[in-house]
Chains A and B, each alone.
Chain A
Amino acid sequence: MTTWLDLDERDDHYLGLAGAHVVATEALLMLRDNLADVLGARAMMCVHGDAGLGKTLSVNAALRALAPADVCRVQFRARPTPRDIRHVLFDALGCSGSPPMRPIEFDALLKRVLAERPRVLVCDEAQWLSRECFEFWRHLWDDPRTDIAIVFVGGGDCYRVLRREPMLSSRVYVWQEFRRMTREQVLDIIPVYHPVWAGTDPELLAYADTHAGHGNFRAWSKLTAHVVTGLARLDRPAPDRDVLQWVFSRLGGRDGT
């Protein structure tokens, strides 16, 4: 579990890549607009797409701009239960004292805290949640006293998991899917993403995307980190095919030719 205020902007980036910028991609801009609407409506939102496409980074970046003090981010690595969510929220919301023993007392406490001021609850890796857990989120959100928006972020089959729950289908205000960058988007975005790619030959970028980036932000982040290292090791001023070959050999064990 992480609360928003614990997150440094650099933590948004994969590997905490130094020098990386948050690029105002079309998806990020759309997400910011969507989140603004969702926060205004105190609604639910689902941000889904394959891993590494920048969902979490975009949500973090957008919420940092929209509601920096009101965000409560929770994330689960295994299949959680409502009890797990209650305890995570208890910590994330900074509730004092000991967690109540009985669910009804726990929920009364959480609702009381969530009624104090507007909050945005970000639930990452939502594809791991069970129906019982979604019931719990819905229960908090449906309560007329709470003042919350909920953002579910998930990869893999998150869309399918959430869509099969009628309670969420009728409550999610915006569904937004993140997709891989097209070749044109790669050529536009990557040079802005990190200074190491500034001025790089588009052909070389296309080559890198074909063999390692695959339109995936996380792959590009990893590739960029290796390129920065490679430039130092190979004593080159800018990326070229030799540097990329060196990087590919580290990434995939093959030379990429």
Chain B
Amino acid sequence: MTAPDHAPQIRVLLDPTDDQAVTAGLLARHDPLAGRLVVHPTPGANGRASLAHDVLAALGRPVDIPPRSRIAREGGAWAAATAWAAADRLEHLVVLRAHRLPAEGWSRLLEFAAHAGAAVLLVCHTRTVAAHLRARLPAAATVTTDLAAVARELDAARARPQRERPPQRQYPTLPRHLPAGQVLHYRADIYRQHFGDAFARVDDLYGRGLDAACNWLRSQPGPPARQRAVVDGALQRLLTELVHDSPSRQHTLAVLRGAQAGFLLHGSWLALPAPASLCGPGLTSVPITFDVADRIRAGVADPVLAAGVALAMLTGADLLALRSLRLDALPPPGHVLLLPFRRADVPAAQRHRAVANEATLLFHIPPPARPLIRAARTFLLGLSSNPRQQVFAGISPLRERIAETAERCGVRLPAHPPGLIDAWLLRVAWTHLDVGVHTNPPAHIGAGRSCLTTTPADTMLVTRPMLHRHPHDQLRNRWSPRNVPTFLPGLVRAYLDRTEPNLRGYREHQITVPADGDTITRRRRDLVERHLAVRTTPAGPATPEDGITVHPDIPFALRLSPQPAPSEPDQPCRDGAPHPDESRAK
């Protein structure tokens, strides 16, 4: 361990009558969550690590420590106690029956409190402090018999506001089966198939993702280089923070589709993989609540094992990925995990998958898990000063040890999680497309044109034109976002400006289209047939210049219109006839 940073206040309270009220009064002030620890040493326990185990027990850690574990030994036990005390932000350490402790115990306690930065009160039920114990006290230590003053001081600490635990983010119950299409039609599909309360619940999550993305993008220094996909640590942190506590894939998809909509409003494209068979936060992870973190702390004394359980839960990937984790992957103050990925580390049968050869995945660590991570870091640095030491060195076999620890803690680990190569974070990319709808920096230039003005969705911003179907249009499968949709912001801006889109960036050569007609006509027809645009003017085969506007699902996805397109009719409409549900879509 390193030398203490500063000397804490050290006092000895003398209680020569060994009054029960003194012990009871001090024990009543034991409150580790508030930073006050009252240690009640075990009588007749003479082992070298006994006092450290008493401190761990007072901190709420389990006392059934495996005999061969490093926590069973004196050095490991004190390192663990120090780590947990620092993570729990200990402020006051009270030790009862201190007159019965050996002098070495006093030295250990004082060293421990100094590392934790806690004030110390040693309670001696004697008339004086024994000489051999007094010799261990620093010169600044004081002796008092004024129990009332001590109690007042502890009560004053108690009167300070409790360390707040932020409320848990709530997730609504969703229908068992929901559409899972891509972002341009996701919200519309939900609306069409689950109109009413179910849509509102999904849309609540969708709006959460959209607003978070808007807020984040507003705080970014600038868009990434145009047309260049960026795997961005800050972006990974945003997305994992958004979904780390999601209870199901359905919830995760709703939030992430909303985030994609937010990116599009800012003229960017957030490429996300289809979630099926992938792993990672929100898909295979297990939410870590304060209750879960409390169970972990009560179930395991070794901070590294506690952190291992937390990391297994929040990454949602096979623990193989954590085996070589180094300490610098958990930088202070314990808010993120920087998990390296190397294709070479992947089993040969999985290496063909289309991801980067090397990458660093950044996971948001939720507040309840942070003390566990901080404790592990402090513990390891207490045993070795190497900042790149392996976190799980000596814990073998890792999978079994972590699983056993989780079971003991009564928490659930991800069931059979895939390897890290299947993490959805490896497939996330951010590309700047064009000028967005939302201004950056924000300026209020009209409803729907700046952040947070797109919600709620019941504000009709643009009068919908009459919608028509060209008789030659053959609706095909929806456009699949395999390519970067550079043209999309232009389509949306034209919709808001009530102008014709110029389709800048539209790559018709990547789409199979009939070879007839001129370029503009082909582009328009393809957009219509791919469900990206609809016709705005009645036109026959002889009038190819009929106008188009963005498909109604897209402004609905961006919360710029109150309704999506109606369900597709079985047969195309006749020339000039309005769209079947046009009146409803207005």
Contact = CB atoms under 8 A, between A and B. Distances in A.
Interface of A: 81-83, 100-105, 107-108, 132, 135-136, 138-139, 142-144, 166-167, 169-171
B159 interface: no
B40 A132 contact: no
Contact of B45 (A104, A138, A143, A171): A104
Nearest to B18: A166
Interface string B103-126: 000000000000000000000010
Given A142-B24, A144-B24, A144-B28, A103 B19 contact: no
Contact of A104 (B17, B42, B97): B42
Interface stretch (B46-54, B265-273, B337-345, B371-379): B46-54
What 3 pairs across the A-B complex have the smallest Cβ distances? A82-B44, A166-B18, A103-B45
Contacts of A101: 67
A166 B16 CA distance: 8
Contact of A82 (B24, B28, B43, B57): B43
22 contacts: A81-B44, A101-B67, A102-B45, A102-B47, A102-B53, A103-B43, A103-B45, A104-B42, A104-B45, A104-B63, A108-B64, A135-B43, A136-B43, A139-B40, A142-B27, A142-B40, A144-B28, A166-B17, A166-B18, A167-B20, A170-B19, A170-B21
B507 interface: no
A103 B17 contact: no
| Most chain B CB neighbours (cut-off 10 Å) among A81, A132, A135 | A135
B125 A166 contact: yes
Contacts of A139: 40, 42-43
B27 A132 contact: no
B42 A107 contact: yes
B16 A132 contact: no
Contacts of A171: 20
B213 to A, nearest CB: 49
B221 to A, nearest CB: 54
Contacts of B18: 166-167, 169-170
A106 to B, nearest CB: 9
Nearest to A167: B18
Contacts of A138: 43
Nearest to B64: A105
B408 interface: no
A103 B42 contact: yes
Nearest to A137: B43
A167 B67 CA distance: 33
A170 B20 CA distance: 6
Nearest to A43: B20
Nearest to B38: A144
A102 B24 CA distance: 25
B100 interface: yes
A167 B125 contact: yes
Given A83-B44, A170-B19, A104 B54 contact: yes
A100 B64 contact: yes
B57 A108 contact: yes
Nearest to A141: B20
B360 interface: no
Given A104-B42, A169-B17, 8 more contacts: A101-B67, A102-B53, A104-B54, A135-B44, A136-B44, A139-B42, A166-B17, A167-B18
Task: Assign chain B's interface to a size class.
Answer: 20 to 34
B79 to A, nearest CB: 18
A100 B100 CA distance: 24
Contacts of A166: 16-18, 125
Contacts, number: 66
A132 B44 contact: yes
A87 B393 CA distance: 38
B26 to A, nearest CB: 10
Contacts of B53: 102, 104
Nearest to B45: A103
Nearest to B100: A135
B23 interface: yes
Contacts of A82: 43-44
Max chain A Cβ within 10 angstroms of own Cβ: one of B23, B45, B65: B23
Q: Which of A101, A104, A105, A107 has the most CB of B within 10 A?
A: A104
Interface in B429-472: none
Contacts of A102: 45, 47, 53, 63, 65
Nearest to B56: A104
Interface in B254-271: none
Q: Which of A101, A136, A139 has the most CB of B within 10 A?
A: A139
A166 B19 CA distance: 8
A108 B16 CA distance: 28
Nearest to A44: B20
A170 B17 contact: yes
Contacts of B27: 142-144
B16 to A, nearest CB: 7
Contacts of A105: 63-64
A131 to B, nearest CB: 9
B315 to A, nearest CB: 33
B189 to A, nearest CB: 54
Nearest to B50: A104
Contacts of B65: 102
Output the residue of A83, A101, A138 with the most chain B CB within 10 A.
A138
A107 B54 CA distance: 11
Contacts of B45: 102-104
A171 B17 CA distance: 10
B130 to A, nearest CB: 15
A142 B21 CA distance: 10
Contacts of B23: 142
Nearest to B19: A170
A142 B40 CA distance: 9
Contacts of B16: 166
Contacts of A104: 42, 45, 50, 53-54, 57, 63
A220 B479 CA distance: 106
A166 B97 CA distance: 13
Interface in B56-98: 57, 63-65, 67, 97
A107 B40 CA distance: 11
B63 A132 contact: no
A40 B63 CA distance: 32
Contacts of B67: 101
A250 B64 CA distance: 58
B50 A103 contact: yes
A117 B416 CA distance: 42
Interface in B503-530: none
B348 to A, nearest CB: 46
